[in-house]
Structure 1
Amino acid sequence: MRTLLNELRAVWHAKVLVWVLTRREVAARHSGTALGVLWPYLQPLLTVAAYYLVFDVVFSMRLGDGAPTHAVGAFLIVGALPWMAFCDAVSRGMNSLIDAGGLLQKNPLPPVLFTTRAVLASSLIYGPLLVLVGLAYAPMHRFQWPVLAFPVLLGLQLLLCLLLGFALAILAAALRDTVQLVGFLLSVGIYLSPILFPLTLFPEAWRWVLWLNPMTALVQGYQEILLRGTWPPLSVWWVTLAWIAATATLLALLVRRSQDQLVDWL
């Protein structure tokens, strides 16, 4: 814990610099585009709009009993958008130290600042979109009390992305194959989570495989809140916290082991 607290202090003491770096990161995403700042938001919005148009309007597909909702498009949106946010944050966090290698070799800045910048920049793009989805679904249940758990889950997802992004960034600096391996896992991870199908449709004997995906619990929590209007079950909370604790433990070990060599790896 002391190692992670030192990293947290470094981020806090350089919070102004982190904010400046984050704004530049966001600006770089739409630099040179005709739509400007709207472009990073438009891409995921068009994706979820396509889900709704194709599955709910055109084909009017419906899920069976046991699903949080019968509308396929509405079901996909609640799971797919958080998944896209997770993949973007983790991927950019993983590549953050490699991208900042030249700067880190010339300036004695804490490496954690650059991973934090990458993950926060991603959250500034997807965070408002996730809040927008929450506001669109919450009236279906008359803004009942379970909606208060929605921002808590968003905060836990951000924390998980920060920890996992930094741990993967250190591993990627030491072994470049990490980038290809994690990229593959992110591409197939959507099929190993209750995003394209309800959890109840997955064979019960193999359902434990889904819990190896860190987003399974969070997606299930979003579905319970936005589609059912109920509090997420206890399994959502303890599995999510277990993933955060395990990732924090791994990160602390990686930070300690790489302190004297990280910049050389870059």
Structure 2
Amino acid sequence: MLHAVGVELRAIWSARALVWVLTKREVAARHAGTAAGIVWPYIQPLLTVAAYYLVFDVVFSMRLGDGAPTHAVGTYLIVGALPWMAFCDAISRGMNSLIDAGGLLHKNPLPPVLFVVRSVLASAVVFAPLLLLLALAYAPLHGFGLPTLSLPLLLLLQWGVCLLLAYVLAILAAALRDTVQMVGFLLSVGIYLSPVLFPMALFPERWRWVLWLNPMTAPVQGYQQVLLQGAWPLPAVWWVLLAWMGVLVLVLNLLIERSRDQLVDWL
């Protein structure tokens, strides 16, 4: 039933050494020509979250109301904003990966999936250490309790969703370039339809189901529950993440089967 996805997974495994080489080159290209060098991709998101803390917690001392997992606004924003930045970076770069590699794919019979994996892995190389720093900064607030053990699984599922969604969008973008503009708009407004900027409790109850349509709502909820409350992620977090992965696998399998013979020509 999922033959096409299985073929792609075998192609990734067979070319895993090449994928790693491509990933290292992708990461190097992000800081090429900069004075800060390899640290530049890490400095940008760190400065962003530092600004959140400085402005909201230090300068204005803003506080959230009842129902929030924490009352400090900056402290709350950082936990959701950093994973959201990781998601946007992986989706944007992964979606454009096939278009950017079009010339190379025309000249070399390489599996297109390698270039999507390269882009998403490069984002993981940059943001995974930052998310680890986030965990190390917040976990002591709850004495490094057992719920912190759920963070690696949350990260793995988040990147799994990113890879699947990026590949789906990369195929759609190859077929229809308008996909890039549409997804860019959705990423810009999607942060307002997630618990990144405000607790879910502040969203009208009868419309909260809309937030779960955002693929980042579940992992952000999980990070907030672990890092801000010292609690295990609720079962809904895991079920929604697994549901997203299941749906994306089915959609991806269909798209690969339908586009296999035309994909390179579209590029």
Q: State the TM-score, normalizing by the size of structure 2.
A: 0.99
Match of 1:151 in 2: 152
Quote the Cα distance in structure 2 between the aligned partners of 1:103 and 1:195: 38
Please show how residues 38-49 of structure 1 align to structure 2 within 5 Å.
38-49=39-50
Matched, 1:212 2:213: yes
Quote the Cα distance in structure 2 between the aligned partners of 1:77 and 1:249: 33
Please show how residues 82-93 of structure 1 align to structure 2 within 5 Å.
82-93=83-94
Structure 2, gaps ≥5 residues long: none
Give the match's secondary structure for 1:212: coil
- Render the CA deviation track for 1:131-188: whole Å, top value 9, x for unaligned: 1000110011011110011110000011011100011000000000000000000000
Please show how residues 100-119 of structure 1 align to structure 2 within 5 Å.
100-119=101-120
Quote the Cα distance in structure 2 between the aligned partners of 1:181 and 1:28: 26
Match of 2:27 in 1: 26
Match of 2:177 in 1: 176
Give the match's secondary structure for 1:139: helix
Match of 1:162 in 2: 163
Quote the Cα distance in structure 2 between the aligned partners of 1:84 and 1:244: 20
Offset, 1:4: 1.0
- Render the CA deviation track for 1:163-222: whole Å, top value 9, x for unaligned: 000110000000000000000000000000001100000011111111110100110000
Give the match's secondary structure for 2:179: helix
Q: State the TM-score, normalizing by the size of structure 1.
A: 0.99
Quote the Cα distance in structure 2 between the aligned partners of 1:142 and 1:24: 39
Match of 1:244 in 2: 245
Give the match's secondary structure for 1:88: helix
Offset, 1:64: 1.0
Offset, 1:255: 0.4
Match of 1:198 in 2: 199
Give the match's secondary structure for 2:116: helix
Quote the Cα distance in structure 1 between the aligned partners of 2:26 and 2:180: 20
Give the match's secondary structure for 1:208: helix
Matched, 1:256 2:257: yes
Stretch deviating more after TM superposition (203-212 or 252-261): 203-212
Please show how residues 33-112 of structure 1 align to structure 2 within 5 Å.
33-112=34-113
The share of aligned pairs that are identical, in percent, is: 73
Quote the Cα distance in structure 1 between the aligned partners of 2:17 and 2:244: 30
- Render the CA deviation track for 1:17-59: whole Å, top value 9, x for unaligned: 0000000000000000000001100000000000000000001
Quote the Cα distance in structure 1 between the aligned partners of 2:73 and 2:163: 31
Q: Which amino acid aligns with 2:207?
A: W
Stretch deviating more after TM superposition (109-118 or 205-214): 205-214
Offset, 1:2: 2.0
Quote the Cα distance in structure 2 between the aligned partners of 1:53 and 1:248: 41
Offset, 1:5: 1.4
Quote the Cα distance in structure 2 between the aligned partners of 1:102 and 1:49: 40
Aligned length: 266
- Render the CA deviation track for 1:95-128: whole Å, top value 9, x for unaligned: 0000000000000000000000000000000110
- Render the CA deviation track for 1:226-261: whole Å, top value 9, x for unaligned: 000000111101011101111111000000000000
Offset, 1:65: 1.2
Match of 2:223 in 1: 222
